[in-house]
Structure 1
Amino acid sequence: MANTYVVRFVGGPLDGRVDSVSMPADAPRPTVTHVHLHEGPKIVHHYDLRYAVEYGCEYHLRVEDPA
């Protein structure tokens, strides 16, 4: 694929996933939201962008403060 970049997910249900994504016209999204809907209540996870030497960028699971 032309104009692609590789992203890796760290933590949560997407841990270890590596995707090749089309290069966006602007910068990669600072946050990615993953919604889990399988056989139960909706569970939402947020992944925040960080840069990594090995992959270029990684999305790390956001640790939510219990309120």
Structure 2
Amino acid sequence: MREEVALSQPYVVRYVGGPLDGRVDSLPCVPEDPKQTVTYVHLHGGPKIVHVYDLSYAVEYGCEYRLRAEEA
């Protein structure tokens, strides 16, 4: 069983690159099993645009998702 980690500050998830660049989500506790990837889909009347973010850790505040480079 996993013990909850008490944080003096919220656990912060940041997004780097793409349409979510600069977005910050605060979570009340450390996620037990964070998603390895996050997919963001634009549905705006035109073609569907998909952006994929990969998890990387930032010890000083939590984790961040970085935009995956497009394959050539």
TM range (shorter): 0.7 to 0.9
2:25 aligned counterpart, secondary structure: strand
Contact 1:8 1:55 in 2 (8 A): no
Q: What does 1:20-59 align with in structure 2 at a 5 Å threshold?
A: 20-21=26-27, 23=29, 24=31, 26-59=32-65
Runs of 4 or more, structure 1, over 4 Å off, are none
Length-normalised TM-score, structure 1: 0.79
2:39 aligned counterpart, secondary structure: strand
- Aligned with residue 5 of structure 1, among 5, 11, 14: 11
Length-normalised TM-score, structure 2: 0.74
Q: CA RMSD in A?
A: 2.0
- Rg: which structure is higher? 2
Q: CA deviation at 1:8?
A: 0.2
1:27 aligned counterpart, secondary structure: coil
Alignment identity in percent? Answer: 72
2:33 partner amino acid: A
Structure 2: gaps (5+ residues): 1-5
